[in-house]
Structures are given as C-alpha cells and as structure tokens.
Amino acid sequence: MPSDSRLILVLNSGSSSLKFAVHDTGTPIPLLSGLAERLTGEGPTITFKDDSGKQAHPLPEASHAAALDAVLAELTRRGWIDSLTAVGHRVVHGGERFTHSVLITPSVITDIEAVSPLAPLHNPAAVLGMRVALQRLPSIPHVVVVDTAFHQTMKPEAFLYAIPMEFYRKHGVRRYGFHGTSHRYVAGETVKLLHLDPNDHGLVVCHLGNGASATAVQDGCCVDTSMGMTPLEGLVMGTRSGDIDAAAVLHIMRITGRGPDEMNTLLNKESGLLAVSELSNDCRELEAAAEDGHAGAQLALEVFAHRLARHIGGLAMALRRLDAVVFTGGIGENSARVRAMTLARLRPLGLQMDAAANACMTRGAAGIISVQGTTPIVAVVPTNEEWMIACDTDQLARQAAGALVEAD
C-alpha cells in the first residue's frame, strides 16, 4: 500500500447486518469488501472478500460494534488502518432534509432519526451503525450518502400524491424515490459512455435488482422516478408488488381480516415475481424454469417486462427528449431475456434492439445494445453504489480538510 493512499470505508448497516467495502480513492474496485450477518441472533459471522477469494469467520458477539471491530482488526492486520481517511455511510431515507451527501454532525443524526417513521426498518439501523463507527473512529470525517437525495429535484407535480394536502404537510406523505445513488452514478457513466452533453440530455435509467426502480434523468437531475414514499411503489420486484390499486389493498384487508403489518409483509415479502411465478423471486431461476416450460415463471417475467415498459414510456414523458434507456442492477446488467422482452414492448418509442449485441453483453461491461445509428440509444451500464459513496465521502473529507487549513 503506497504511503499516500487514501482509503475510504463504506458502511451499509441493516437491522441485523453490516455490509462494508474498503476503497482506495483511485479505483472503483474495492480492495476489500464483505458482510457481517446475524447481528441480532445466534451464530453471528463476518465474511471478507478480496481478489484472493472469500473467508468467513465467527464473531465473538452478535452486535454491530463487534462487526465493525472485526473490520478494523482486519484493516490493522493488513497494515491499512493508518491510511483510512474517512467513512461513508449509506442511508436509505433522508426525507426532504437531504438533497446531497453531507458530513455527519449531531444535527445530521437527529435529522435522520426524525425521518425514521418513513423508513422504520432502515433508518434506525443506519443510525446505530453511525454511532458505533463515530465512537470507534472519532478522528476522521464521516459522511452520509442518502438514497433519496438524488430525487429531491423532482417537482411537486411529480412527487405529490393526489390526496388531501394535510398528509403531505403534516406527515411528509409524498413520493421520495430510492436507489438514488445508483441512478446518479449510472446516469453519469452513461453521459460519458454515449458522449452526451452533461447539460442537455434525457435518460431513463432502470435499476433492476431484487428491488427495482426506474428514473427519468434530465441534464443530470432526477425529474421523476417509479418508487414512492417507500420502495414498494412502481415496478414489479423480487418479492414486492410494485403499483397496486390502494382499493385492492383495502379489499384484501376486509375480506381476510389482515391488519396493516400483515399487509406490509404480504406486499413487500410475498408478492412480486415470487407471487406470480409461485416458484421463486430470483430472475435467474425463473429464466431457467421458463426455458423448461414453467408457465408461472414465464408469466412472472411477462408481468415484470410489461410493467417496466409501461413505466419507461411514462417516465420518458417527463423528459424534454429521450436520448437513451439504460439498464443496470443484477437483472438489468445480466438478463438479456428481460431486456429483450422489455424492449419489444417499447417499439412505439422508436427503440430498436440489436439482438446480437444484447445477447453478447459481457458481464460487468458497459455497452450499447440498440441498432447502430438509431435513437433513442439503449445501453447497459453496470452500477457501483459503493464506489459512488466512496467518491462523495472522499470529496467531502477533502473539502473539510481544506476548510480546516483555511481556518488555521
């Protein structure tokens, strides 16, 4: 490790897990990454992954603090700890308070806690991770990178639900959008790949993983997105329903006697590809099953593609001009079949897929899959949320260091 290396630790705290990545600021591939799991139960473990492979170890205690201690011990063992310059924390929900990444101060933590009612599972876990990390690493800057921040440029016409305004004014009920760090990164990479004008372009970015959302990006800013107040709205996902008539939800509650928590589980964990296929939430498994003639798997993929195409068409109307549709995330980057099924439904927008280019996309590579010379262009661009978090963190840490020097 060169002595002038600047290492950034990226943390993503879940309620019972801690994902981490260590980036050298010069390169998008992490030097080390991993996951600590079962942090509230029996048998907590941590897995480290680097270019030599994966290694799992038991943790002495089931807690976020034990997990972070194991990460720091590993950095010490590798002789990297003195090069650690900043920590970036991923936060899912920033309400209207966060429009971009910021250095963590006590008031930032209070603001994240204040929007916890909108993300009751995610935000308290993120705050717990921050508190532990601030305690263990008090002398380096910590930064929050918020998933909703990129979408804060949406206008009221895009973010309001047409329900009485008091719910927005008093309780923050509105559309926020998620996966913002991925959408921002992929939009920026697409502008470079396609040599678009950074100040004059229109994209629809489709982030298709276990969770899925699509965003209309104009001139680098989000103008509309498919997810709403929570990550449930919009596209069909692995186990989430996406859009559903609210009256259908009320009807199911009445006829089955289910309460709000049970409906939350049904719509977030028991729906989506899993529910329609009656087989799996995993796109790769569904493709294999559809290939073998499983009707449910084929139907689930059709429903997924239909909903996605409908959203892409709708989102394009929020733009001044549609230059490109971009696929990213585990499904978007790897499933030629889902891309083809979606694009076949988008011919009215003039999209023309190059079947050979679509089939030949290599894993992890960016490329164009539309017929050469046609517009809008269709591209595949791998996402890298951790790298985007590391870049924001490094930039803010450098600014903070510069401000300190100036103050001296």
| Of residues 141 and 209, the one with the C-beta less far from ligand ADP | 209
Distance of alpha carbon 168 from alpha carbon 180, whole angstroms: 21
Query: Do 145 and 389 meet the contact criterion of CB atoms below 8 Å apart?
Result: yes
Nearest residue to ligand ADP, scored by beta-carbon proximity:
330
Q: Write out the catalytic residue numbers.
A: 147
| Of residues 23 and 174, the one with the C-beta less far from ligand ADP | 23
Closest approach of Cβ 178 to ligand ADP, in Å?
11
| Of residues 269 and 398, the one with the C-beta less far from ligand ADP | 269
Distance of alpha carbon 117 from alpha carbon 404, whole angstroms: 36
Q: Which residues 6+ apart lie within 8 Å of 107 measured at CB?
A: none
Closest approach of Cβ 336 to ligand ADP, in Å?
8
Query: Do 34 and 48 meet the contact criterion of CB atoms below 8 Å apart?
Result: yes
Closest approach of Cβ 273 to ligand ADP, in Å?
8
| Of residues 217 and 300, the one with the C-beta less far from ligand ADP | 300
Cis, peptide link before residue 164, omega less than 30° from 0:
no
Closest CA to 272 of 309, 313, 231: 231
Distance of alpha carbon 93 from alpha carbon 116, whole angstroms: 8
Distance of alpha carbon 346 from alpha carbon 376, whole angstroms: 11
Q: Count of residues for the chain?
A: 408
| Of residues 74 and 385, the one with the C-beta less far from ligand ADP | 385
Closest approach of Cβ 287 to ligand ADP, in Å?
6
| DSSP strand pairing (84-91 vs 7-13) | parallel
Give long-range contacts, CB 8 A cutoff, 24+ apart: 272-278.
272/236, 272/237, 272/238, 272/239, 272/240, 272/241, 272/242, 273/236, 273/237, 273/238, 273/239, 273/300, 273/301, 273/304, 274/238, 274/239, 275/239, 275/241, 276/236, 276/300, 276/303
| Of residues 146 and 322, the one with the C-beta less far from ligand ADP | 146
Query: Do 307 and 242 meet the contact criterion of CB atoms below 8 Å apart?
Result: yes
Query: Do 71 and 97 meet the contact criterion of CB atoms below 8 Å apart?
Result: no
Closest approach of Cβ 320 to ligand ADP, in Å?
30
Closest approach of Cβ 163 to ligand ADP, in Å?
29
3-class DSSP assignment, residue 204: strand
Binding site for ligand ADP (CB under 6 A): 209-211, 238, 282-284, 287, 329-331, 334-335
